[in-house]
Structure 1
Amino acid sequence: MKPLRFRAVPGVRALASYRRAWLAKDLVAGVVLTTLLVPQGMAYAELAGLPPITGLYTTVLCLLGYAVAGPSRILVLGPDSSLGPMIAATVLPLVEADGDPARAVALASALALMVAAVMILASVAKLGFVADLISKPTMIGYMNGLALTILIGQLPKLLGFSVGADDLVGEFTGFLRKLGEGATVPAAAAVGCGGILVILVLQRFLPKVPAVLVMVVLSIAAATVFDLGEHGVSLVGELPEGLPPFTIPDVRLADLSLLLAGALGIALVSLADTISNASAFAARQGQEVRGNQEMAAIGVANLAAGPFQGFPVSTSGSRTAVAERAGARSQLTGVVGAVLIVLMLVLVPGLFRNLPQPALAAVVITASLSLADVPGAVRLWRQRRTEFLLCCAAFVGVALIGVLAGIGVAVALSVLNVFRRSWWPYRTVLGRVGGLEGYHDVRSHPAAQRLPGLVIYRFDAPLVFANARAFRDEIRRLAGTDPPPRWILIAAEPMTDVDTTAADMLEELDEELDAKGVRLVFAELKDPVRRRIEQYGLTRTLDPRRFFPTVEGAVAAYRRRTGAEWAPADEVREGYGNGEASGNGNANGRP
């Protein structure tokens, strides 16, 4: 039995199916990947408000953890630019006024363990669907706000000075003030701005060249040759030798509530990132995405990093793309990268001592530019203004309230948008159009024919407590014309549910309409909804003979009973026949 249990571990399965032909490609890809892992790991650690070395510790442990537990052959994990500001927003307020780095590291490590617990528990509960809580428009707004936050936060470091502020507005005004006071260090500005230029030019014209590595090598060479440390440029300095010991983070009980709030937000963003990246790369490799397994694997990666001065991690689209382009075939690529980083820390810890801090700021700023999706926001403006407003609200939430509150705003807006669509769904009257089968929206087809005395009404949403009154008011309006219709036929195919509040409303509405001589009729109710209506006991008042399998069948029954003939739109009296049923859809009749 034990071998079978071990075979359930993704890393063991991958090892059992490993092909010898992959080895050379994985080794080469691992070497190439390492050239990106080291500078980005150090830069994103500083973005999170932590010492650069912790980014390397985190990178090593999370790569090994995901190699064991990760279901994807190609995904690369590590410190991430989108998580850095969230980690800083969680950890830095809890650090004492003296900014003790050891306490910041302990808090970040505890945060990683809490993210691990959230991810693993959510995986056991099969909650992978929570990644859908952030819609694409709100995610675009959130990422644009995050990109702006990172950019403004890194500008002082890029130019060689610092600004003490707690929010984006304070950072920006402080940056402008110090810029006006002449606080810029010319050598630092040259290294930082030159680094951005090198990365962007190489990424644009020579995409296969490791742009970040080239920039790092050039900046180290410049710092060594021109002795930039003596010209006011901050350098990374000597890194600690080897790996840190296993340590249980020492945090106060009072810190746990803020850490948990941060862990939940980080877990949500990490999961959304992971699912989107896994889907994109799995589609290219012919693999299947397993959302709950990915959650568990991210949890294990954070669990591995936490006790070794690590901080929360996520998947990286850029690093995964580099590994894929370099020929990676399995998670051995990440293992090779982890081993090379360990060898660097043990054998040559001083390799990056002359790396200028503005160069790390350049790495972070160029990464923030990749987070932004301005064309996506412009597309929303052109295609759907309401979703553009959601995007803007999420952007403002991140920029003005903060990254942690911003993720809450993004989730809340996504959920409220779903609720809004259920609350005010599209609804309309239908008619017959020559040359087209079925019945169609009279807004799109004003000349559609209608039967005198019959209103065919479509309500494009589940009938629930949030929209029950809107449905009732619309039916009352349609029934209140002079003369009133004989039948109001509900084309109920879009109604995927009827809750108890809506059921009570239907019972009262039916009795009210019967008193006026108007019959409420349903067509195309889905079987589960029909069974629910029977369960509610509505068939006591709503005669089962009022339920038809198709709209065509209901119309045929009406014509048999009344002898009505199809009439042009202008011959049907205004009110129920004029197609003015309200709704919030577009001119083409789509919600």
Structure 2
Amino acid sequence: MTLLPGLAVLRGYQRGWWRPDLVAGATVGAMLIPQSMAYAELAGMPPEYGFYAVLAPLVVYALVGTSRHLGVGPEPGTAILAATGVGAIAAGDPARYLVLMSGLALVVGAVAVLGSLARLGFIASVLSKPVLVGYITGIGLTLLSSQIAAFTGVPIEAGRFFPRVAELLRGVDDVDAATLAVGAGSLAVVLGLRRWAPQVPGALVAVGSATLLVWALPGVAPGVPVVGAVPQGLPSPALPPVSLGDVLALVPVALGIVLVGFTDNVLTARSIAARHGYRIDPNQELFALGVTNLSSGALQGFPVSSSASRTAVPAALGSRTQVVSLVAAALVVATLLFLGPVLGQIPRAALAAVIVAAAFAIIDVRGYRALWRVSRSEALLAVAAALGVVVFDVLVGVLLAVTLSVVVALGRIARPHDAVLGDQPELDGWVEVDAYPGARIEPGLLVYRFDAPLFFLNTDRFRTRVLDTLERNPGDEEWLVLDFEGVGGLDATALDGLTDLTGSLAGLGLKRVAVARANDQVVRRLRKVHLLAPEGPLHHYPTINAAVRDFRSARGTG
């Protein structure tokens, strides 16, 4: 049951859950039919491959996932990231492209499974919120530009956002009125139902209506491109004939998909789980991402992750378990077996409208506003991440997003918050004197706090800040107490830096330098290099108050 938490939930299934689960499953299945086809085309695959990519993952995730609501399957960001990477490797060969796509799904699966075995679930926190907001916005803009040709009928050759927009402006006279009308009408239906009737599968209604309209109105069908023949029947399991060289070439793409897809999966699953009273296991979710992609690749599909909309809808409908996914899978099977001729008549402009609607949903304007209110620098960081995607490409955007996240994290650790502490009796403790003007600084005593682990990146800053604070602090300091509550760890550079600092402090006439509230690991490391008394110059106290009592006793003021 450890590897099959979903099965454990299903074994405890209650009769009262059937109705909401069946209704939610039918709704998700109705959403999946047009979305799977649209996202397959976005990935550069024939539309039926969208069904191949979702069929097995729906069943697999119901058994191995820890979320009871996560809507796994094709997703636009993952699709376009995969298309960007595989397109460069396939070099224009359509048959090779299909093989590499299913091979990529298998490589993504293998990377994710290995990551789960190595307990790397923490990578869900690698992308900070500003960078994730910017990256997702860049993906949304890329999705919008990718559908210009299908939405308007204007031929577009460019592969990036700004050149595509420029081509549209130059070719505005070539816009096909019928194609644009079908696309705009479908988009209006999707957005309208999303706004006023969110429980209705807007994409299915829009695509179905557009298909009937194009079929019924004489003179429209010849001018509006349709999907074309869609093979009926279920896919056969098969391993793609990829070489070791192909696998090695696909690994960087797979790493990007795992990072972004897994981060998105965990954030989406956690947000829903928090509202419904259960928890998400990140390592198990990484394993689930792996096995769902392995199952997709084995059925000739392409890489998958999850959809926020297909997660939110069943939760809003009161579903309780992943029976929703099993019901949706049954509808996909029925579609493949019986609806092939109907699917072939769907206008491509209607599928483009589904993708455009998805793009509108993920362009996080509210996220930018929230970031701007909290931190303008973080808002600008989000803009930089978005530009990395739209100016260069999605893979570069992923790399830039990760790099920016790491740089921001290192910057904060390199220049952390620090403070001089004072005694605030009514609060029963020592607080920052800048935040609490009533806090009293003990004459002859300086209590200083540094809020970060000490390591090679911030050791020099720590030393400089301590010396500068002693110089600025009024009065002749006799004791210096270093509050190490925020110093969770020390590396070798930090230990050398502390040795140098104590040497500098010895020349300032201080009678005692002490550390307070250090954790056991920090204390052990200080003892190993003989920095703690009686061998070394630093005295250790479990609390600030213990150090202050000794100070007052030594001065005869206790």
Shared topology, TM-score over 0.5? Answer: yes
Aligned to 1:577: none
CA distance 1:9–1:546, shift in 2 (3 Å): closer
Checking the alignment, whether the CA contact within 8 Å between 2:531 and 2:538 is kept in structure 1 is no
Deviation string, structure 1 residues 287-308 (Cα, Å, up to 9, x no partner): 2212222222221111111122
**Is the partner of 2:399 in helix, strand or coil?**
helix
Aligned residues: 556
Matching residue within 520, 523, 535 for 1:530 = 523
Stretches (4+) displaced over 6 A: none
Checking the alignment, whether the CA contact within 8 Å between 2:483 and 2:516 is kept in structure 1 is yes
Task: Check if 1:517 corresponds to 2:514.
Answer: no
Q: How does 1:395-434 map to 2 (within 5 A)?
A: 395-433=386-424
Task: Check if 1:507 corresponds to 2:502.
Answer: no
**Is the partner of 2:454 in helix, strand or coil?**
coil
Checking the alignment, whether the CA contact within 8 Å between 1:58 and 1:78 is kept in structure 2 is yes
Task: Check if 1:286 corresponds to 2:281.
Answer: no
Aligned to 1:86: 81
Aligned to 1:221: 212
Q: How does 1:35-114 map to 2 (within 5 A)?
A: 35-97=30-92, 100=94, 102-114=95-107
Aligned to 1:152: 145
Task: Check if 1:497 corresponds to 2:503.
Answer: no
Matching residue within 129, 139, 142 for 1:136 = 129
Matching residue within 450, 469, 473 for 2:460 = 469
Checking the alignment, whether the CA contact within 8 Å between 2:120 and 2:283 is kept in structure 1 is yes
Deviation string, structure 1 residues 463-510 (Cα, Å, up to 9, x no partner): 211111111122233445797522222122211112221111111221
Task: Check if 1:438 corresponds to 2:420.
Answer: no
Aligned to 1:582: none
Q: Quote the Cα distance in structure 1 between the aligned partners of 2:10 and 2:442.
A: 69
Q: Which moved more, 1:532-541 or 1:358-367?
A: 532-541
The sequence identity of aligned pairs, in percent, is: 38
**Is the partner of 1:77 in helix, strand or coil?**
strand
Q: Which runs of 5+ in 1 are unaligned?
A: 1-5, 566-591
Which residue identity is paired with 1:539?
Answer: L
CA distance 1:478–1:151, shift in 2 (3 Å): same
Q: Which moved more, 1:68-77 or 1:146-155?
A: 68-77
Which residue identity is paired with 1:343?
Answer: A
CA distance 1:433–1:285, shift in 2 (3 Å): closer
**Is the partner of 2:137 in helix, strand or coil?**
helix
**Is the partner of 2:184 in helix, strand or coil?**
helix
CA distance 1:282–1:477, shift in 2 (3 Å): closer
Q: Quote the Cα distance in structure 1 between the aligned partners of 2:405 and 2:391.
A: 19
CA distance 1:328–1:551, shift in 2 (3 Å): closer
Give the superposition deviation at 1:440.
2.9
Aligned CA-pair RMSD: 2.4
Which residue identity is paired with 1:505?
Answer: G
Give the superposition deviation at 1:523.
1.9
Checking the alignment, whether the CA contact within 8 Å between 1:42 and 1:53 is kept in structure 2 is yes
Q: Which runs of 5+ in 2 are unaligned?
A: none
Which residue identity is paired with 2:446?
Answer: V
**Is the partner of 1:83 in helix, strand or coil?**
helix
TM-score (norm 2): 0.93
TM-score (norm 1): 0.88
Checking the alignment, whether the CA contact within 8 Å between 1:507 and 1:542 is kept in structure 2 is no
CA distance 1:83–1:189, shift in 2 (3 Å): same
Q: Quote the Cα distance in structure 2 between the aligned partners of 1:553 and 1:300.
A: 55
Which residue identity is paired with 1:303?
Answer: L
Deviation string, structure 1 residues 194-224 (Cα, Å, up to 9, x no partner): 1111111121112222211211121011110
**Is the partner of 1:472 in helix, strand or coil?**
helix
**Is the partner of 1:88 in helix, strand or coil?**
helix
Q: How does 1:173-572 map to 2 (within 5 A)?
A: 173-179=166-172, 182-227=173-218, 230-433=221-424, 435-446=426-437, 448-480=439-471, 485-518=477-510, 519-539=512-532, 543=536, 546-562=539-555
Q: Quote the Cα distance in structure 2 between the aligned partners of 1:330 and 1:560.
A: 64
Q: Quote the Cα distance in structure 1 between the aligned partners of 2:61 and 2:17.
A: 19
Deviation string, structure 1 residues 420-449 (Cα, Å, up to 9, x no partner): 111001122223357443233232345643
CA distance 1:404–1:432, shift in 2 (3 Å): same
Q: Quote the Cα distance in structure 1 between the aligned partners of 2:264 and 2:121.
A: 12
Q: Quote the Cα distance in structure 2 between the aligned partners of 1:11 and 1:451.
A: 59
CA distance 1:507–1:152, shift in 2 (3 Å): same
Which residue identity is paired with 1:513?
Answer: L
Q: Quote the Cα distance in structure 1 between the aligned partners of 2:323 and 2:555.
A: 76
Checking the alignment, whether the CA contact within 8 Å between 2:162 and 2:391 is kept in structure 1 is yes
**Is the partner of 1:82 in helix, strand or coil?**
helix
**Is the partner of 1:439 in helix, strand or coil?**
strand
**Is the partner of 1:520 in helix, strand or coil?**
strand
Checking the alignment, whether the CA contact within 8 Å between 1:62 and 1:304 is kept in structure 2 is yes
CA distance 1:258–1:389, shift in 2 (3 Å): farther
